[in-house]
Homo-oligomer: A and B are copies of this chain.
């Protein structure tokens, strides 16, 4: 059975209307992206000039297309969009991605065209993504409608639902070049003339290719419906949200106004929590949470053990745990005994674990491997963070032991960060992440991300 959005995410045939022969034009980039992703359905292009573009024959009009194409990507200016959408409807195309900007977000003229589009959609029963969207992506189907140069988009199991085009443009480029995880579906909502966050969330909730949902939203079209859906979806998969525009109207940031916003924001906060949505506050966490959710299990609880080569880092990390709602539990006597065994006596071994002495005296690999295994074994520990000391002079170990230990304790997330030299940190990331162990460049990040994971787990387990 094909779902109601299958024409968007598993289209058997696609028409790019406004196909362009000129590199750099979005009507050209869309085609390049479709080809680069190895789309296996039928691809039609439309441009009055005809001919071929990138080896694909071009129809001169929508009218000359075959009947019943699944999806149209309309890469034409705002003012040409309504007429084109009407022509699509006539050819039995019932799903469209509208890329042009210049609608209601800009001026009254744009608002007028947007109203016209709404009428066409209603009269013809068409489903539309956009306008003003940079596109959507569906890696299980090797398909994207992105208008920004993407190349092959890595397949993964998290999906992004975003009231911004960034996850079909430059932020996706960052994920593809700077990270090692992939995505399943990406939905850039644009101006939400038709498909909005409630329906999109419902789709992702039921999507077997989506194991976690990460959202960036600025407003909700149908808040009640949205929270209703979120309440259900968040029980079966993690639902994470960055809410933009918390202080948007407060551009002048008068203190009184900020206070008012803060009160309103606390209300939003409560609604989100009831709906099982895990709220985040940093754009960077949209990426880092996506990475962690792609690689590690959710922790069973909030009890963290962490190993760091510095007393100050232990203190700062403990402070951070408390602030983030995590716990740094006492360890079993057996664990302490083992930690003492590997460490010189001048360091007091407990949780968090000061690995400096062991690493200095017995080598970085031995110290971290033995220390890591000791805390992973401990029944009081739900998750482990390593602050790896990496400098050439003190020794950069082979990193395989981390992968092996993480595999041996598959129910406990292992997150890695660093202190030391930049080059080995990069090498460690390159080694660990393709093998399923996420790394984080800043020492605070694994703690922040773990608290997001823990909140996801708690939301999924919450009582009805």
Contacts of A244 in B (CB 8 A): 312, 315-316, 319
A residues lining the B interface (CB < 8 Å): 78, 100-102, 105-106, 110, 148-149, 162-166, 169-171, 173-174, 177-178, 216, 218, 242, 244-248, 250-253, 258, 261, 282-284, 309-313, 315-316, 318-319, 321-323, 326-330, 345-348, 357, 389, 391, 393-394, 419-423, 425, 441-444
Report chain B residues within 8 Å CB of A166.
310, 312-313, 419
The answer to whether A106 and B345 touch (CB under 8 A), given A166-B310, A309-B170, A391-B173, is: yes
B347 & A101 in contact (Cβ 8 Å cutoff): yes
Q: Are A247 and B347 in contact (CB under 8 A)?
A: no
Partner of A174, one of B315, B346, B421: B421
When distances are taken between beta carbons in the complex, the residues of chain B under 8 Å from A442 are: 282, 284, 442
Residues in B neighbouring A389, C-beta threshold 8 A: 170
Once the chains bind, are B312 and A216 in contact (CB under 8 Å)? yes
Given known A346-B78, A348-B105, A422-B177, contact A245–B315 (CB-CB < 8 A): yes
- B315–A346 CB distance below 8 A: no
Contacts of A443 in B (CB 8 A): 283-284
Given contacts A102-B346, A166-B310, A347-B101, contact A321 B178 (CB under 8 A): no
Q: A218-B312, A313-B166 are in contact. Are A347 and B174 (CB under 8 A)?
A: no
* In-complex Cβ contact of A163 among B309, B312, B441 (8 A): B312
Q: Are B312 and A177 in contact (CB under 8 A)?
A: no
Contact assessment for A178 and B312 in the assembled complex, using a CB-CB cutoff below 8 Å: no
A178 lies within 8 A of B284 (CB): no
Interface centre among A162, A284, A316, A357 (most CB of B within 10 A): A316
Flag if A282 contacts B444 (CB, 8 Å): yes
Name the contact of A311 in the complex, choosing from B110, B164, B174 (C-beta under 8 A): B164
Indicate if the CB atoms of A174 and B242 lie closer than 8 Å: no
The smallest C-beta distance from A325 to any residue of chain B, in angstroms, reads 8
- Inter-chain contact A149/B391, CB cutoff 8 Å: yes
Q: How close is A82's CB to chain B, nearest CB, in angstroms? A: 16
Measured in the bound complex, the distance between the Cα atoms of B409 and A47 in whole Å is: 48
Starting from the known contacts A101-B357, A248-B315, A251-B318, 20 additional A-B residue pairs (CB-CB under 8 Å) come to: A78-B346, A101-B346, A101-B347, A106-B347, A106-B348, A110-B346, A149-B391, A164-B312, A166-B419, A169-B309, A169-B310, A170-B309, A177-B422, A177-B423, A244-B319, A248-B319, A252-B329, A252-B330, A253-B321, A253-B322
Contact in complex: B444, A283 (CB < 8 Å) = yes
The answer to whether A242 and B316 touch across the interface, beta carbons within 8 angstroms, is: yes
A421, B178: Cβ atoms closer than 8 Å: yes
Whether A328 lies near B171 (C-beta < 8 A) is: no
Nearest Cβ on chain B to A386's Cβ, whole angstroms: 14
Chain B residues near A245 (CB-CB < 8 A): 315, 319
Partner of A253, one of B247, B251, B327, B345: B327
